């Protein structure tokens, strides 16, 4: 009929204008991160890849390398700066070595809950920090979450700050974490993540700190007895592209990446938060002893760490600290 002919003509026109409108090239990109695919970060990464694929009509594909296959976070950040790797997902803590203002995310006890973390990470502070990566040959897309970090160790439950003293604890390669654990009397050993399981197993170190999901997916229950719910810091996880690739993208392509990251982020954070309760039950069933700290003891630890916060407030600048406080 003439009506169906008209529909056919119209859909051809719409199809050709939408193809014309989207300036998207065929690309296959190299995307690497440190956690396993089963972890909520891996699931969020898959969602991101799927969304980029969908929004680009299948033109932009990614070859994904989870589980530190391309190296530690510091190594993969460097590879992304050099354009050897196209996209990296990483905890933000190692970025502090490149852009000192990232240290604000590492302040102990900055966020009381996930809502506060979202407000800062998605607000002006997060935007400023994503933008600052361009000075380092990187392009920040958005933040997923690794989550609130808790201390595990093989010696004793930590119920107060003094229990941390004397522990040989692995920290990320980040000065705020190192200074914080030193202030509590621990022997802080910065170490790339791929070396941690073996170091815990051999007894070279007694302790480490990470969110529940990382503890579980890396089977740290095999080499650690105690989890103490210190929630001493929150780890955002940045999705970052090489500036070399970013500069080569059309505006349409840039929008595809940023929109896909922001959509995947919502999925990823929700999944991460829903998983936590299940993971705690699972780790208990595998023999880990999990203890909470009283609010009084947490307050004492906070007071001990205030000089560290003061030191790094000066590093990141009063304006950024004020901005963060205003978003909470
Ligand atoms: O502890 C770390 O280094 C990070 O939390 C990890 C496990 C590599 C995830 O980003």
3-state secondary structure of 13: helix
Tokens in use for 176?
Answer: 């705020």
3-state secondary structure of 253: helix
What whole-number distance in Å separates Cα of residue 238 and Cα of residue 122?
A: 12
Complex confidence, ipTM:
0.99
Provide the pLDDT for residue 14: 56
Opening angle at CA 104, ends 162 and 247, nearest 5: 145
77 lines ligand 1 (CB under 6 A): no
Provide the pLDDT for residue 4: 62
Q: Walk along the chain (328 residues) in steps of 10 and give the mean pLDDT of each run.
A: 60 54 94 97 98 98 98 98 98 98 98 97 98 98 98 98 98 98 98 98 98 98 98 98 98 98 98 95 97 98 98 98 96
Provide the pLDDT for residue 56: 98
For residue 90, the ligand 1 atom closest to its alpha carbon is 10
Tokens in use for 162?
Answer: 């003094």
Report which protein residue has its CA nearest ligand 1's atom 9: 91
294 Cα: distance to centroid of ligand 1 (angstroms)? 26
Tokens in use for 211?
Answer: 């969110």
Provide the pLDDT for residue 13: 56
The pTM for the full model equals 0.93
Work out the end-to-end distance of the chain between its first and last CA atoms, rounded to an integer number of angstroms: 62
- Give the CA radius of gyration of the chain: 22
Residues 6+ apart with CB under 8 A from 19: none
Report which protein residue has its CA nearest ligand 1's atom 4: 91
């Amino acid at each position: 009929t003439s009506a169906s002919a008209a529909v056919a003509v119209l859909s051809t026109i719409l199809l050709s204008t939408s193809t014309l409108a989207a300036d998207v090239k065929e690309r296959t990109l190299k995307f690497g991160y440190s956690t396993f695919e089963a972890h909520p970060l891996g699931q969020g990464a898959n969602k991101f890849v799927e969304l980029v694929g969908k929004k680009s009509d299948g033109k932009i594909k990614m070859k994904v390398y989870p589980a530190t296959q391309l190296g530690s976070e510091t190594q993969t950040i460097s590879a992304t700066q050099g354009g050897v790797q196209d996209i990296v997902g990483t905890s933000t803590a190692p970025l502090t070595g490149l852009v000192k203002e990232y240290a604000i995310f590492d302040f102990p006890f900055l966020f009381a809950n996930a809502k506060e973390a979202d407000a800062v990470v998605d607000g002006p502070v997060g935007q400023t920090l994503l933008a600052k990566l361009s000075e380092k040959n990187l392009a920040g897309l958005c933040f997923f979450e690794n989550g609130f970090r808790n201390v595990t160790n093989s010696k004793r439950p930590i119920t107060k700050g003094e229990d941390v003293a004397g522990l040989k604890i692995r920290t990320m390669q980040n000065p705020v974490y190192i200074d914080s654990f030193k202030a509590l009397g621990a022997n802080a050993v910065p170490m790339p993540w791929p070396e941690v399981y073996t170091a815990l197993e051999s007894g070279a170190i007694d302790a480490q700190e990470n969110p529940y999901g990382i503890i579980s997916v890396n089977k740290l229950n095999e080499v650690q007895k105690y989890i103490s719910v210190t929630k001493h810091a929150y780890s955002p996880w940045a999705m970052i592209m090489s500036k070399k690739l970013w500069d080569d993208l059309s505006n349409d392509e840039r929008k595809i990446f940023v929109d896909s990251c922001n959509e995947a982020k919502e999925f990823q954070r929700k999944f991460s938060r829903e998983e936590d309760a299940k993971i705690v039950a699972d780790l208990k069933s595998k023999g880990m002893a999990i203890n909470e700290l009283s609010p009084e003891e947490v307050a004492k630890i906070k007071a001990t760490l205030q000089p560290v916060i003061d030191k790094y407030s000066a590093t990141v600048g009063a304006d950024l600290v004020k901005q963060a406080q205003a978003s909470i």
